[in-house]
Amino acid sequence: MTATSVAPVEAPQSGVGTGRGARTAELLQRNGALLVLVLVCLVASLSFDTFATTSNLRNVAVQSSFLALVAFGMTFVILTGGIDLSVGSVYALGGVLVAYGAQYGTVLGLVLPIGACALIGLVQGLVISRGGLPPFIVTLAGLLAVRGLVLLVTDEGAQVRTIPEGPLRTLGRGTLLGLQYSVWIVVIAFLVLAVVLARTGFGQSLYAIGGRGDAARLMGLPVARSTTLVYVLSATLAGTAGALLAARSSSGVPIVGVGVELDAIAAVVIGGTLLTGGAGTLRGTLCGVLLLGVIQNCINLVGSLNSSYQSLVSGAFLVVVVVVQTQLARKQQL
Amino acid sequence: MASTVVRTPPEAAAPARSRFDRQRVTHWLSVNGVYVALLLVLLVDGLFLDRFLSVNNLRTQLVQVVPVLIVALGMALVIGTEGIDLSVGAVMALAAAILPLYLGYGWPIAVLMAMLVGALAGVLNGTLVAVVGVQPIVATLALLVGGRGLALVLADGQAKQILDPGLIGFGSDRVLGIPKTVILAVLLVLLVGFVVRRTTFGRQLLAVGGNPRASRLAGLPVRRTLIGVYVISGVLAAIAGVVITARLNYSDPSSVGTLVELSAITAVVVGGTPLSGGRVRVLGTVAGALLMQLLGATLNQFNVPDSTTRIIQALVILVAVGLQRSGRTT
């Protein structure tokens, strides 16, 4: 049975709850992040003259693009009720491998990081889906081991390779219609992944797995294969994001990406995806990433505040969001 | 759920005896493997490394493991309730930032204030988890993100030197050759072990972790227990922050306790406490923390590069959890 032949599964988020309150709650939960994003942007453009300028918004887009790719993958993982703590290390691995591969040509510079990261995702996915070990532990071990690989590639962190002039640097710095390539890649990834999630059997099976894993298995869904694929996707996207960052900064730095997994999880949660799995959207995640980016941008614009205020605000914001989300989710179930 | 139970195929019944024995071995290893591994590491150290088992070196290793160990004790309790506390590193930073602000009133007051902040952090985490119903990983993630920021704001973004003789003395003095911080850690281990085994709270904690729904229906104070567990974890993390600050004579909220949550979770898991809750192994956690510390130090002594060390540590985690999984199927 191929993944595409599976009949679409009704996503639990649509159709749960009956009353009007439940429907409003559902609508709010799905679009809450978008709503807040619009509000924050409105307030920001009224408060700062420089916020709503093209160059500033372009900046926000570029700076959010790397986290966006990681968070897309994390959304898929969390939809199945899993978690991927290894993405920060994989992000760093993507960066050092693009610089390593670039020494032997552009093609290898692209194939090496993406291939290696996909392989790491495959190993983790197989251990989780076939070995039956908890995702939290497996990817925690992945976080450690992949950081080890990063150090191995860079001569224990001592060697920072630069990417030679060529197509790879253009990929990192070049623009199309005024937007950086990395932003375009995020746009394409978003469109493709959103279609995969909403319109393919694989995407729909993820909602079923996250909603009720054993029920999905009894229905004959390829649970193990879908679960494995999700971790492959997450690692590939994280590696790609790291490679793009390295291409932008022209070198593969081994110490990047510490804590990226937490930012990605925060963005996914802000976007309305339930950590228990089974409900969530890619659109929400994109809004979550942009919200974190806009908050950071606003604090930069204030100027007198340092970066510690940024984490303080993001943390406080996260508390408010999860409290509201939890209440909304509970209302839907009533 | 009955329908999900996988039945053993009939052909597996023939070599039942050897299979049974192997499962018993796996089960025994899943419980005691961490002690075996710890003994093995010590044995290798004794045989191949000249000065590793000297009093001086062991003392250094113990002093270094103390903060992680103290945090891991709280983490073990939280994991026993099927939760997780990612905020411990941020709480350590908060404690480190609070200390210099109140040292003017004497070090006992400053330490109490740091512990109070840890308790408040625990109340926040516990309320989000128990009352609001947020997933523990998200609830404590918020404080992980925001807590260090708050610590840096409190400390004005600066590291401060600690001049208080009382605190410095606690960080570096020894009693009968044993550092005071190690004695504190031993006392805390005994205390947490006592709480888990001999108190009603400990029993309730395990019940809540094993089956929250049944505990609620049985009339156990589920919310109070959960909040209590996160408060204990917060206070222990704050104590760990005080210990590190006292040892270094330096309050540095930007670096204290970064990624300690991962080391603590590792120690707990390697020590045999399952993430699924309902069981806490206090001594196992101690052994887990010691094992990871000594393994790292030993590999370092053998000139194994950092990269390989991390990969080996990852394998240790996987093997430990894999053993627990196969041990459980008996």
Residue A11 pLDDT > 70: no
C-alpha distances out from residue B177 to B142, B180, B294, Å: 41, 9, 20
Nearest CA in chain B to A143: B314
CB spacing of A258 vs B152 below 8 angstroms: no
Q: Provide the 3-class DSSP secondary structure of residue B161.
A: strand
CB spacing of A309 vs B149 below 8 angstroms: yes
CA distance A65 to chain B (A): 20
- Rounded CA-CA distance A258/A91 in Å is 9
Listed in sequence order, the residues at least 6 apart from B284 whose beta carbon sits closer than 8 Å to its beta carbon are B34, B271, B272, B273
Which segments within B187-330 are labelled E, that is strand? 250-251
Q: What is the CATH number of domain B68-328?
A: 1.10.3470
Chain B residues in contact with A308 (beta carbon < 8 A): 148-153, 157
The pLDDT tens digits of the residues spanning B133-153 come to: 888 988 898 898 888 889 988
Q: Provide the 3-class DSSP secondary structure of residue B155.
A: coil
Nearest CA in chain A to B143: A315
Of A106-120, A144-158, B18-32, the least confident: B18-32
Residue B7 pLDDT > 70: no
| Averaged pLDDT for residues A303-311 | 75
- Rounded CA-CA distance B78/B130 in Å is 12
Residue B30 pLDDT > 50: yes
Residue span of the structural domain in which A255 resides: 3-333
- Rounded CA-CA distance A271/A78 in Å is 12
Residue B285 pLDDT > 80: yes
Residue boundaries of the structural domains of chain B: 68-328
pTM, two decimals, is 0.85
CA distance A311 to chain B (A): 5
Residue A14 pLDDT > 50: no
Predicted pLDDT of residue B18 = 57
CB spacing of A262 vs B134 below 8 angstroms: no
Which of B5, B260, B307 to substitute to test the interface with A, most A CBs within 10 Å? Answer: B307
Count of the separate structural domains present in chain A: 1
A305: CATH: 1.10.3470
Residue A78 pLDDT > 50: yes
Of A68-72, B164-168, B269-273, the least confident: B164-168
The pLDDT tens digits of the residues spanning A190-206 come to: 999 999 988 888 888 88
Chain A residues in contact with B3 (beta carbon < 8 A): 214, 218
Chain A residues in contact with B134 (beta carbon < 8 A): 322-323, 326
Residue B70 pLDDT > 90: yes
CA distance A125 to chain B (A): 14
Measured N-to-C along each axis, helices B165-172 and B222-248 cross at an angle, to the nearest 10 degrees, of: 100
Q: Work out the pLDDT band at B327, boundaries 50, 70, 90.
A: low
CA distance A315 to chain B (A): 4
Structural contact between residues A97 and A112, judged by C-beta atoms closer than 8 angstroms: yes
CB spacing of B135 vs A266 below 8 angstroms: no
CA distance B173 to chain A (A): 34
| Averaged pLDDT for residues B118-129 | 94
Nearest CA in chain B to A218: B4
Which segments within chain B are labelled E, that is strand? 160-161, 174-175, 178-179, 250-251
Which of B310, B312, B315, B325 to substitute to test the interface with A, most A CBs within 10 Å? Answer: B310
CB spacing of B318 vs A149 below 8 angstroms: no
Burial classification of residue A265, based on how many CB atoms lie within 10 Å of its CB (0-12 exposed, 13-18 middle, 19 or more buried): buried
Chain A residues in contact with B318 (beta carbon < 8 A): 127, 133, 137-138, 141
Instruction: Out of A76-90, A172-186, A209-223, A262-276, give the one with best mean pLDDT.
Output: A76-90
How many of the other CB atoms lie within 10 Å of CB of B175? 9
Predicted pLDDT of residue A18 = 56
Query: In the 8-state DSSP scheme, what is residue B253?
Result: T
Nearest to B139 among A127, A136, A322 (CB): A322
DSSP string, B1-57: -GGGPPPPPGGGGTTHHHHHHHHHHHHHHHHHHHHHHHHHHHHHHHHH-SSTTSHHH
Chain B residues in contact with A150 (beta carbon < 8 A): 307
Which of A265, A308, A330 to substitute to test the interface with B, most B CBs within 10 Å? Answer: A308
Nearest to A156 among B144, B306, B317 (CB): B306
How many residue contacts between A and B have a Cβ separation below 8 Å? Answer: 141
CA distance B329 to chain A (A): 12
Structural contact between residues B75 and B257, judged by C-beta atoms closer than 8 angstroms: no
Mean pLDDT value across chain B = 86
Listed in sequence order, the residues at least 6 apart from B282 whose beta carbon sits closer than 8 Å to its beta carbon are B73, B76, B189, B192, B193, B196
Closest by Cα among A234, A202, A271 to A8 = A202
